[in-house]
Amino acid sequence: MEYQIKPAQGKLGILIPGLGAVATTVIAGVEAIKKGLAQPVGSLTQMGNIRLGKRTENRYPLIKDFVPLAGMEEIVFGGWDVYSDNVYQSAMNAKVLEPGLLEPIKAELEAIKPMKAVFDKSYVKNLDGTNVKEAATKWDLAQALMQDIEQFKKDNNCTRVVIVWCASTEKYTEETAVHQTIEAFEAGLKNNDPNIAPSMIYAYAALKSNVPFANGAPNLTVDIPAIVALSKELNVPIAGKDFKTGQTLMKTIVAPGLAARALGVRGWFSSNILGNRDGLVLDDPENFKTKEVSKLSVLEEILNADMNPELYGELYHKVRINYYPPHGDNKESWDNIDIFGWLGYQMQIKINFLCRDSILAAPIVLDLALFMDLAHRAGMDGIQEWLSFYFKAPQTAPDLKPEHDIFKQLIKLQNTLRHIMGEDLITHLGLDYYQELVEAL
Ligand SMILES: NC(=O)c1ccc[n+]([C@@H]2O[C@H](COP(=O)([O-])OP(=O)(O)OC[C@H]3O[C@@H](n4cnc5c(N)ncnc54)[C@H](O)[C@@H]3O)[C@@H](O)[C@H]2O)c1
């Protein structure tokens, strides 16, 4: 397949539903980086390298020099929130970044004021905002979002826009009839079907506006047949769900290592305390359930009990999240891992990660925005499974098991970049080097 990638010309708008801790950390970060005040650490697009060709060729360009991505200077931010605080005020409230870092970019951040949100309290009980759109139907709300996108594009002179959902986790829901086809979904928008969540209205409006949509929270959103079909029909990429940060990031680094060494795992107890607004929302059991399902899926896939019942058949996996305001955005997690080795002898691993959630999530938002824009310009539509690297619960085609192992996810991402750029894929076989040596003798 030949990819004709359109050049990244003009401004790229990154629109974010939910201008809270994660969103303000990425926006402030990009503005600070533009001014040379900080480095984009943790961003694969900005600081990661990719090997091309044979190991002997020594070609390891930066990813941003290999694929045509939008430059930092070309990015413009905007978004929606149920609170009317501008991005500077919201960043100050979130307390992720130091006031000293925010001061030199205060004017840029104050200029970004949230548009009125599409919000339904029955999906997020613990929030009460007033910066909310009023309309008779969900269909009208979708039209209003489309107008917002169009207006933003015009006002900021953008050639392209992408959306990354950074709003609160919605309550746990499962697919119903209204999610099955585009026709059923559109009828549901018109008759206010309660099973259509606000995040789905944003996703629908994005696709109808030719705007790629990535979902950073664990809610269903784009992970329903109607939205998948729409993204194929309109040739717009989608991706999700739930940014892979903190504890799950560690899990998908450590578990593949244990499985690689054929070590057994009997138990994995994960607990977290966090005190930001995300923690407050997750304090409601219905919203916690959405997160729990997303977090639990990871180990089951990496430590496949069906394939290896002797090693993983007894695995007991538990995840707890507790709201603890004094910690703010500085989440603390503890993992107790009961493993066993040769002849069944038991061992334990303890991980105590004092992480900063939004510091880990911000570069993911930036990378997703840039890669989704690249995918769109390359003519890739539907589910972008090659971006699984960034998600706790990667979206896949129906009946296809997601890949959770972070190392396999990275190989897939890099090979996709090589593929669309017409470079050889890398298998890591390496036997040809030795064959060449033999032939040279
Ligand atoms: N921080 C991380 O490491 C991380 C990791 C994975 C997923 N996430 C998810 O990312 C999201 C954002 O996290 P955060 O820490 O920034 O939370 P946050 O509470 O600071 O920000 C979320 C913002 O979304 C707003 N909001 C809620 N519903 C909205 C709607 N319908 N439209 C527009 N705005 C709405 C809230 O008012 C809030 O300002 C959450 O869903 C969280 O679960 C975060």
pLDDT band at 279, cuts 50/70/90?
confident
Rounded-to-integer distance, Cα 217 and Cα 364, Å: 12
Indicate if the pLDDT at residue 147 is higher than 70.
yes
Distance 330 CA to ligand 1 centre (A): 15
Domains of the chain, residue spans: 11-243+358-420, 247-354
Tell me the mean pLDDT in the region 167-184.
96
Distance 81 CA to ligand 1 centre (A): 10
What is the reported pLDDT for 171?
Answer: 93
229 token code pair: 């079909």
What is the reported pLDDT for 57?
Answer: 92
Tell me the mean pLDDT in the region 71-80.
98
Indicate if the pLDDT at residue 413 is higher than 90.
yes
CB 145 less than 6 A from any atom of ligand 1 = no
Instruction: Please give the residue that has the higher pLDDT: either 331 or 420.
Output: 420
Distance 334 CA to ligand 1 centre (A): 23
Sign of CA dihedral 134, 139, 142, 146: negative
Percent of the chain whose predicted confidence (pLDDT) is above 70: 100
What is the reported pLDDT for 179?
Answer: 98
By C-alpha distance, which of 398, 376, 389, 415 is closest to 159?
Answer: 376
Tell me the mean pLDDT in the region 412-433.
91
Q: Which residues contact 390 (CB under 8 A, 6 or more apart)?
A: 239, 243, 244, 364, 367, 368
What is the reported pLDDT for 373?
Answer: 98
Ligand 1 atom having least distance to the Cα of 243: 6
Ligand 1 pocket test, pick from 16, 19, 22 with the greatest ligand atom count within 8 Å of Cβ, gives: 22
CB 258 less than 6 A from any atom of ligand 1 = no
Sign of CA dihedral 71, 404, 329, 277: positive
Ligand 1 pocket test, pick from 278, 366, 367 with the greatest ligand atom count within 8 Å of Cβ, gives: 278
CB 217 less than 6 A from any atom of ligand 1 = yes
Q: Which CATH architecture has domain 247-354?
A: 2-Layer Sandwich (3.30)
Distance 200 CA to ligand 1 centre (A): 15
Ligand 1 pocket test, pick from 15, 90, 165, 168 with the greatest ligand atom count within 8 Å of Cβ, gives: 168
| Average pLDDT for the chain | 95
What is the reported pLDDT for 1?
Answer: 57
Which CATH number describes the domain made up of 11-243+358-420? 3.40.50.720
CB 403 less than 6 A from any atom of ligand 1 = no
CB 215 less than 6 A from any atom of ligand 1 = no
Q: Which residues contact 263 (CB under 8 A, 6 or more apart)?
A: 311, 339, 340, 341
What is the reported pLDDT for 289?
Answer: 82
CB 120 less than 6 A from any atom of ligand 1 = no
237 token code pair: 């990429």
Instruction: Please give the residue that has the higher pLDDT: either 325 or 77.
Output: 77
Q: Cβ–Cβ contacts within 10 Å for residue 283, how many? A: 15
Indicate if the pLDDT at residue 285 is higher than 80.
yes
Mind listing the pLDDT tens digit for each residue in 367-398? 999 999 999 999 999 999 999 999 999 999 98
Q: Look-up: residue for tokens 């900063």? A: 356
Ligand 1 atom having least distance to the Cα of 124: 28
Distance 23 CA to ligand 1 centre (A): 8
What is the reported pLDDT for 438?
Answer: 81
Mind listing the pLDDT tens digit for each residue in 299-345? 999 999 999 999 999 999 999 989 999 988 888 999 999 999 999 99
Indicate if the pLDDT at residue 104 is higher than 60.
yes
Indicate if the pLDDT at residue 2 is higher than 70.
no
Distance 355 CA to ligand 1 centre (A): 17
Instruction: Please give the residue that has the higher pLDDT: either 430 or 321.
Output: 321
Rounded-to-integer distance, Cα 253 and Cα 405, Å: 7
Distance 276 CA to ligand 1 centre (A): 10
pLDDT band at 75, cuts 50/70/90?
very high
Distance 270 CA to ligand 1 centre (A): 22
Q: Whose CA is nearest to atom 9 of ligand 1?
A: 217
Measure the CA angle with vertex 160, ends 387 and 87; round to 5°. 80
CB 16 less than 6 A from any atom of ligand 1 = no
**Is the preceding omega at residue 350 within 30 degrees of 0, hence cis?**
no
Ligand 1 atom having least distance to the Cα of 83: 37
Rounded-to-integer distance, Cα 168 and Cα 288, Å: 11
Mind listing the pLDDT tens digit for each residue in 237-261? 999 999 999 899 999 999 999 999 9
What CA–CA distances, in Å, run from 338 to 174, 258, 334, 345, 377? 33, 11, 13, 11, 47
Burial (Cβ within 10 Å: 0-12, 13-18, ≥19) of residue 179: buried
